[in-house]
Amino acid sequence: MALLTILCYPDPKLHKVAKPVAVVDAVIQKLVSDMLETMYEAKGIGLAATQVDVHQRVIVIDTSEERNQPLVLINPEITWKSEGTHLNEEGCLSVPGIYDGVVRHDAVHVTALDETGKSRVIEAQEILAVCIQHEMDHLMGKVFVEYLSPLKRNRIKTKMLKMHREDAR
């Protein structure tokens, strides 16, 4: 396994739209295990391939307290969304240190392939439902700060660029 570099907002590569995985082969399995290692190392609850500059529809998630229940979603598709929504405080490994409210569906049903290529249905609610919606946005090239007001987004952009400049010194 290997740690991957996570792209940071406002990197334009975060806005690329991911393509479906044609076949779940050893290359995808290696990507999945590297993404899991990267997510655990970064103490995140989810990571989309887009965030590690791989533009294929692959997501890894672990919302368990014990950090021992990895969930792999390849070519995920939402088949049902609850009418009910709620405002949830979100963060993102690509926007470190920023947390803000985003409205999400309370529950979603998703079909996806797992790391063995087997199709499965996930009925998600609460934090898992939020996480799936957040990660699926990444695959469409969307970062959660794009739901915020232009004013807030610009402030975040400025803050991130300043942070990167300081890192580069």
The residues annotated as belonging to the active site are: 135
Structure tokens at 119: 């199709």
In the complex with Ni ion, the residue whose CB is nearer, 9 or 24, is 9
In the complex with Ni ion, the residue whose CB is nearer, 45 or 112, is 45
Shortest spacing between CB 25 and Ni ion, in angstroms? 26
29-46 burial code (b ≥16 CB/10 A, e <16): eebbbbbbebbbeeebbb
Specify the pairing of strand 107-113 against strand 100-105: unpaired
Shortest spacing between CB 21 and Ni ion, in angstroms? 19
Contact status: 92 vs Ni ion (CB under 5 A): yes
Distances in Å between the Cα of 150 and the Cα atoms of 12, 42, 105, 121, 147 are: 17, 28, 23, 36, 9
Contact status: 8 vs Ni ion (CB under 5 A): no
Per CB under 5 A, which region of 9-17, 64-72, 88-96, 114-122 contacts Ni ion? Answer: 88-96
The answer to whether the beta carbons of residues 90 and 48 sit under 8 Å apart is no
In the complex with Ni ion, the residue whose CB is nearer, 101 or 117, is 101
In the complex with Ni ion, the residue whose CB is nearer, 115 or 135, is 135
Between CA 37 and CA 103 the distance in angstroms is 29
Indicate the DSSP class of residue 121.
Answer: E
Shortest spacing between CB 23 and Ni ion, in angstroms? 26
Shortest spacing between CB 53 and Ni ion, in angstroms? 14
Q: Which residues bind Ni ion (CB under 5 A)?
A: 92
